[in-house]
Amino acid sequence: MNTPVDDNGSVPAAGANANAIQLVVLSGLSGAGKTIALRTLEDFDFYCVDNLPAGLMPSLVDAVSSGGHRRIAVGVDVRNRSEDLNQLPQVLADLARTGIDYQLIFLDSRDDVLSKRFSDTRRRHPLSADGLPLHDAIALERKLLRPLAAIADRVVDSSELNVHQLRRLIATELGMAGGELSLLFESFAYRRGLPIDADFVFDARVLPNPHWDPALRPLSGKDAAVREWLQHKPEVNRFLDQLTGFLDEWLPRFEADNRSYVTICIGCSGGRHRSVYLAERLAEHFRGSREQVLTFHRELE
Predicted pLDDT of residue 14: 39
DSSP letter at 55 equals: G
pLDDT digits (tens, 9 = 90+) for 67-103: 888 889 999 888 877 777 878 888 888 888 888 888 8
Q: Please, which pLDDT band fits residue 207 given cuts at 50, 70 and 90?
A: very high
The pTM score is: 0.58
88: Cβ contacts below 8 Å, ≥ 6 apart: 25, 54, 57, 76, 148
The residue-averaged pLDDT of 23-35 equals: 91
Predicted pLDDT of residue 285: 96
Per-residue pLDDT at 16 exceeds 80: no
The residue-averaged pLDDT of 35-50 equals: 85
Per-residue pLDDT at 3 exceeds 60: no
The residue-averaged pLDDT of 39-49 equals: 84
For 218, other C-beta atoms within 10 Å of its C-beta total 8
29 is in an annotated binding site: yes
Q: Cα separation of 147 and 143, whole Å?
A: 8
Predicted pLDDT of residue 258: 65
Q: Please, which pLDDT band fits residue 204 given cuts at 50, 70 and 90?
A: very high
233 is in an annotated binding site: no
28 is in an annotated binding site: yes
79 is in an annotated binding site: yes
Residue 298 has φ and ψ, to the nearest 5°, of -55, -40
Domains annotated on the chain, with CATH:
22-175 (3.40.50.300), 182-297 (no CATH)
Per-residue pLDDT at 7 exceeds 80: no
Q: Cα separation of 56 and 39, whole Å?
A: 21
Predicted pLDDT of residue 108: 94
CA 162 to mean position of chain CA atoms: 12
For 8, other C-beta atoms within 10 Å of its C-beta total 5
61 is in an annotated binding site: no
pLDDT digits (tens, 9 = 90+) for 154-199: 999 999 887 767 877 887 666 554 457 788 899 999 999 998 778 8
203: Cβ contacts below 8 Å, ≥ 6 apart: 190, 267, 268
Q: Please, which pLDDT band fits residue 271 given cuts at 50, 70 and 90?
A: very high
- Indicate the average pLDDT of the chain: 85
Are the C-beta atoms of 24 and 105 separated by less than 8 Å? yes
Q: Of 163, 184, 174, nearest to 264 (Cα)? A: 184
96 is in an annotated binding site: no
Per-residue pLDDT at 106 exceeds 80: yes
Are the C-beta atoms of 76 and 30 separated by less than 8 Å? no
Per-residue pLDDT at 133 exceeds 50: yes
Helix (H, G, I), strand (E, B) or coil at 262: strand
Q: How far apart, in Å, are the Cα atoms of 177 and each of 7, 158, 165?
A: 24, 19, 18
55 is in an annotated binding site: no
Predicted pLDDT of residue 174: 61
**Within 13 Å of residue 296, how many CA atoms lie on the same side as its CB?**
21
194 is in an annotated binding site: no
33 is in an annotated binding site: yes
35 is in an annotated binding site: yes
The residue-averaged pLDDT of 254-259 equals: 74
